[in-house]
Amino acid sequence: TGPLTDAVLGALTHADSVRRLEVRANADTPEDAARARALGAQGIGLCRTEHMFLGERRALVEAMILARDDTAREEALAALLPLQRADFTRILAAMDGLPVTIRLLDPPLHEFLPDRTDLAVRLASTAHPDPHDRELLAAVERMDEQNPMLGLRGVRLGLAVPGLTAMQVRAVAEAVTERLRAGADPRAEIMIPLVGTVEELRLARAEAEEVLARVAAETGTSFDCPIGTMIELPRAALTAGRIAEAADFFSFGTNDLTQTTWGLSRDDAEASFFPLYLEKGVFGVSPFETIDQEGVGRLVELGVEAGRAVNPRLETGVCGEHGGDPESIHFFHGVGLDYVSCSPFRIPAARLEAGRAALTEPGLAPGAAATRSL
């Protein structure tokens, strides 16, 4: 190592010794998990499962969502289960001994459905159309949404497709069991996305708890698997006290929370009118990049306060892009979150920034902060 590397490592070690925020990673492959761990991640704060349903598995997902009957859906779910279990086993192996927060499926539905126009063209261009294609087109038309980001996503999809939540939770539980039998220390957590009311969380949680208990009984193992929720809708933040009654942890999804608080599309706003807004000084920086403290940040504060008042042991973190943004990290430190979670490549900078936030805390001399944490 050269002098520069030594200096950086020294700064990181110092930051780690004073910071109060834990730094976790957003990772959904074993490779990303290993990279994140090597960069100092203290767990996975967000393991998205969407990509696990694409590629070769798309046909199964289509079959699951558009199933003609219960048997067809159950077959698709049964085929997906071992694939999901293997996904989770590998990620848990990479993060052995550290928390891995696995988020249940949260796609905008249109990403999984066959293209409506393609189907219609296929049907129109043949004299003897496949009856299955006709049924498929009818199903896709029924499910077609004008605003997929406000549609059948997250917990709503889990509640709408029978067996989906159970399949994913079973895959987690079986992966945990497999790792336990191998003598490892798996620490899986289950996270429910896009919750707007405690009732949704209660329903999803009950289903998850039942599956966890069943797998534990079947395998004769006992393990702990906290169940929490994302807070990514204004209503969830405003009713956080109620939601905390059914949650072991909150993870603020500030990407969606920014989108829904501002009424700005995550996918379109940057390109369409942000340049104009930046030029006119409506905001100095994109609220998707740095937390908007007066609006979205206020909802985070309210959520943490109300959640902890009901459940003092509630763990709180952030897993939106803001979790890796330096200015936002200072804000999250001030709010008292337990952790930030960000892309693996942002981990070192996040560790440094979390350390700086602790050292520059108002009312604390840097020396005092360091002494207090050591």
253: contact with Mg ion by CB under 5 A: yes
Nearest to 335 by CA among 362, 366, 302, 307: 302
Query: Judging by DSSP bridges, how do beta strands 315-318 and 249-252 pair with one another?
Result: parallel
**Contact predicate 75/163, CB 8 Å:** no
Q: How far is the CB of 20 from Mg ion (least distance, A)?
A: 25
Round to whole Å and give the CA distance between 206 and 204.
6
- Cα dist from 22 to 118, 226, 281, 353, whole Å: 47, 18, 34, 11
Give the N- to C-terminal CA distance of the chain in Å, as an integer: 27
For ligand PEP, the binding residue among 256, 292, 338, 353 (CB under 6 A) is: 256
Instruction: Considering the complex, state which of residue 256 and residue 353 has its C-beta at the smaller distance from ligand PEP.
Output: 256
Site for ligand PEP in 270-329 (CB under 6 A): 319-320
Is residue 256 a contact point for Mg ion (CB under 5 A)? Answer: yes
Site for ligand PEP (CB under 6 A): how many residues?
10
Question: What is the nearest approach in angstroms of Mg ion to the Cβ of residue 315?
Answer: 18
Beta bridge partners of 23: 340
Rounded Cα distance between 354 and 22, Å, is 8
Our finding on whether 355 is near Mg ion (CB under 5 A) is no
Count other C-beta atoms under 10 Å from residue 277's C-beta: 16
User: What residues are paired with 101 via a beta bridge?
Assistant: 189
d(CA 94, CA 104): 20
Binder to ligand PEP among 29, 255, 265, 343 (CB under 6 A)? 255
Determine whether 319 is an active site residue. Answer: yes
Least Å from the CB of residue 158 to ligand PEP: 15
Q: How far is the CB of 3 from ligand PEP (least distance, A)?
A: 38
Q: Which of the listed partners (ligand PEP, Mg ion, none) does 319 bind, with a CB threshold of 5 to 8 Å by partner kind?
A: ligand PEP
Enzyme catalytic residues: 319
Known binding residues for Mg(2+): 232, 256
Q: By CB under 6 A, name the binding residues for ligand PEP.
A: 46, 48, 106, 232, 253-256, 319-320
Known binding residues for substrate: 48, 103, 232, 253-256
Known binding residues: 48, 103, 232, 253-256
Q: By CB under 5 A, name the binding residues for Mg ion.
A: 232, 253, 256
